[in-house]
Structure 1
Amino acid sequence: MKITDAKVFVCSPGRNFVTLKIYTDEGIYGIGDGTLNGREKSVVSYLEDYCIPCLLGRDPFQIEDIWHYFYKGAYWRRGPVTMSAVAAIDMALWDIKGKALKTPVYNLLGGKSRQGVMVYPHAYGETIEATIENVQKYVDEGYVAVRAQSGIPGLKSTYGVAKGKTYEPAQRGMPTEYEWSTEKYLNFTPKLFQKVRDAIGDDIHLLHDCHHRLTPIEAGRLGKELEPYHLFWLEDTTPAELQESFRLIRKHTTTPLAVGEVFNTVYDYTTLITEQLIDYIRMSILRGGGITSMQKVAALASIYQVRTGFHGASDLSPITMAAALHFNLAVNNFGIQEYMKHPAEANDVFPHAYAFEKGYMYPGDEPGLGVDFNEELAATYPYQRAYLPVNRKEDGTLFDW
């Protein structure tokens, strides 16, 4: 079997997605996700101008060698654009191999380690009461884990809280500017979780995302104050380029820590994992360079009792969600999977076999990844440039969003 062609498609069924389709001389094709939220066209150029010409004529079964070719062979390693492009290729190759061997990808990764993949949705509201109502809605739908975010009194906008029914931070036009007060956030958040626990009890797992907005000592304070509410994890407390900063956080709290949705290689994690400074790795299949790369990250993490908790927001297409579910079903040190539902038009463009039932996701038993791509329908949703927001403190200082 040889690769004969590869094409990149950009469509916007509710939001922008970048899809790679790799074709073979045996009529089997594979699809991969290359979406980089707010910078989609950068990945398109990387794939079309540099990667695809080097794919033609290769054996798609040689996934390990091809992965290293595009990682080591480029000389300029790492970075979200490079790793998203490499991931798109990698996913498509695993899809081809599964289809050719007539088996789901999880069987190529060692088979099932569990029956289903525990997932968590996003519950939010402009007030604590609205957040509690939203958490209860998900509990009633069968979820056993829920992320809770709330509007903060005195701030006009807050990360994770949508004005409408769906949360989509990327907006068309120039970037939206949010405002932020660390002091108000720190004083408010423990009250949120006290009232959520009072309302729903102790059996449901609760998660919370700080979105890189705290210093290490502030993160230690928040983690300590949230300990009575037994969070499943506290996510992305501080920008983690300085991995050593988590030593300080770890000294002050036993609240489990998750980090890394913006990471793109294992080297972003080495100190965090080997010193057991975190409990969950958040890097996604897409941002982390694909299934081939994430196997290595998860294997390293397992030695240090660190589990997976992949990013799974709706800025990743159903292709990445399917790849994550196959991976999560197979890997032993799985923890939890983020799950934000895609809009109906996106599900139509990417028909898939995976499904949700009673708090768990199942990838299905279709050969390959179990996702397809409707090119004709995708063409009716043209790309529309969109930006993620930026964030400023109340005095106007540009801050982490």
Structure 2
Amino acid sequence: MTKIIDYDLYEVPPRWLFLRIETSDGTVGWGEPVVEGRAKTVEGAVEELMDNYLLGEDPNAIEDHWQRMYRGGFYRGGPILMSAIAGIDQALWDIKGKYFGAPIYELLGGRARSRVRVYQWIGGDRPSEVGDAAAEKVSEGFTALKMNATSEMRRVDNPASVDSAVDRLREVRERVGPETDIGVDFHGRVSKPMAKRLAAALEPFDPMFIEEPVLPEHNDALPEIAAHTTIPIATGERMFSRWDFKEIFESQAVDVIQPDLSHAGGITEVKKIAAMAEAYDVAVAPHCPLGPIALASCIHVDACSPNALIQEQSLNIHYNETSDVLDYLQNPDVFQYDDGYVDIPDGPGLGIEINEEYVEQQAEQTVDWHNPVWRNDDGSVAEW
């Protein structure tokens, strides 16, 4: 019987953690377990799980491994444990696909589509020339964009703060026209009263969705926000299991969920979350401002999920100033972007070939990414 015999972890720029699992027959699987800004913490969790549950085990028993990792400890859930499980799960599916000589989506029931639509980020937290950036991405073939709605915002802010958000979305809409979709990310920066105001003010410009209008700990406010707008509501990047998503499905306030394949338990768990969403007529648009392993994992779930709407990807995103998605691949052409879509990898497993030599070189650098801490004008901490 093939067994898991070894693993390695590589913290690499700009802010990613790669996991390499090797089996006794020489097969290698790759995963991307990380919480951005907490890579070393997740690294410790991966080591605990690998050492306690997986070394010496059959790599193909993925569901059993998932259950043992999740339920084997008294405490469960949360970003650290679920991200550690996610990266291990991705690597195990990569190994399983290679074992059977098939893409992961074939092992999950086969493709429900021939390609996956993607959106492109425009600008950073305080984007300037956002209209020019939008026009440039549309000229490159993207049909969907995403932008931040605001920078810091007080719990009850002045009309100028709302006008600023409106002006930026208006500029983008006027530059790209009605055939381009524009997602607007509130990033959890906005309180419930301001979320209602912003949703009403942005509605004339027809966003594709408003994302994370409030923080997940305030998901109970989503039905009231939804009652104030016809804009679809999206959330989920900071939710980590099907049990976290259960409440928002039952509230019927959310139209698009955005689980992260590197945070929400990996391929095994997000496929289940997507199936739950389908039963509630909710679309799936996985969160992925991460690296190539996470992106490939997302695309395999998208490929076999009938309710997959669109895929986030981090090509040229503002986080990736030191290394980009394609830099770590031997076969960067696997992610071919055409007319706003990406091809579905058809190689075995994840269908990507990691440049191990490049990974090892990059891992020698000191990587210490942490998100900034913002403050309001009175000195109090603001949401980033």
Common topology (TM > 0.5): yes
2:374 aligned residue: 391
Distance 2:49 2:311 in 1: 32
Distance 1:243 1:180 in 2: 19
Encode CA deviations 1:19-65: one digit per residue, 9 max, x unaligned.
22221122212111112211101111112234334212222111111
- Measured after TM superposition, the shift of residue 345 of structure 1 is 6.1
Kindly provide the amino acid, as one letter, of the partner of residue 9 in structure 2.
Answer: F
Distance 1:8 1:16 in 2: 17
SS of corresponding position for 1:191: helix
1:6 aligned residue: 6
* TM-score scaled by length of structure 2: 0.91
- Measured after TM superposition, the shift of residue 334 of structure 1 is 0.4
Question: What is the 5 A alignment of 1:87-166?
Answer: 87-124=86-123, 130-149=129-148, 158=151
2:42 aligned residue: 43
Question: What is the 5 A alignment of 1:148-227?
Answer: 148-149=147-148, 158=151, 180-181=153-154, 182-183=157-158, 184-227=160-203
Question: What is the 5 A alignment of 1:334-349?
Answer: 334-341=308-315, 347-349=326-328
2:84 aligned residue: 85
1:129–1:398 distance in 2 versus 1, CA, 3 Å: closer
Distance 2:71 2:171 in 1: 50
- 1:116 and 1:362 in contact (8 A); partners too: yes
1:245 aligned residue: 221
Question: What is the 5 A alignment of 1:19-58?
Answer: 19-58=18-57
- 2:292 and 2:328 in contact (8 A); partners too: no
- 1:208 and 1:234 in contact (8 A); partners too: yes
1:375 aligned residue: 356
Deviates more, 1:140-149 or 1:366-375: 366-375
Q: Does residue 327 of structure 1 match 2:301?
A: yes
- 1:6 and 1:52 in contact (8 A); partners too: no
| Sequence identity percentage | 32
Distance 1:252 1:348 in 2: 44
Question: What is the 5 A alignment of 1:355-366?
Answer: 355-366=336-347
SS of corresponding position for 1:369: coil
Aligned residues: 372
1:198–1:364 distance in 2 versus 1, CA, 3 Å: same
CA RMSD of aligned residues (A): 2.0
Kindly provide the amino acid, as one letter, of the partner of residue 347 in structure 2.
Answer: E
SS of corresponding position for 1:252: coil
- Measured after TM superposition, the shift of residue 129 of structure 1 is 7.3
Distance 1:141 1:99 in 2: 34
Distance 1:125 1:42 in 2: 26
Q: Does residue 354 of structure 1 match 2:330?
A: no
Distance 1:238 1:127 in 2: 19
1:385–1:129 distance in 2 versus 1, CA, 3 Å: closer
Deviates more, 1:86-95 or 1:125-134: 125-134
1:196–1:354 distance in 2 versus 1, CA, 3 Å: closer
Distance 1:282 1:187 in 2: 27
SS of corresponding position for 1:7: strand
1:284–1:233 distance in 2 versus 1, CA, 3 Å: same
- 2:153 and 2:190 in contact (8 A); partners too: no
Encode CA deviations 1:272-305: one digit per residue, 9 max, x unaligned.
1122111111121111001111111111111111
Encode CA deviations 1:1-25: one digit per residue, 9 max, x unaligned.
432323232232x413212222112
Kindly provide the amino acid, as one letter, of the partner of residue 85 in structure 2.
Answer: V
Kindly provide the amino acid, as one letter, of the partner of residue 340 in structure 1.
Answer: S
1:261–1:125 distance in 2 versus 1, CA, 3 Å: closer
1:129–1:263 distance in 2 versus 1, CA, 3 Å: closer
1:298–1:126 distance in 2 versus 1, CA, 3 Å: closer
1:49–1:268 distance in 2 versus 1, CA, 3 Å: closer
1:163 aligned residue: none
1:18 aligned residue: 17
1:282–1:74 distance in 2 versus 1, CA, 3 Å: same
Distance 2:357 2:126 in 1: 42
SS of corresponding position for 1:11: strand
Kindly provide the amino acid, as one letter, of the partner of residue 311 in structure 2.
Answer: Q
- 1:257 and 1:278 in contact (8 A); partners too: yes
Please, which runs of 5 or more residues in structure 1 have no aligned partner?
A: 153-157, 159-178
Distance 1:23 1:284 in 2: 24
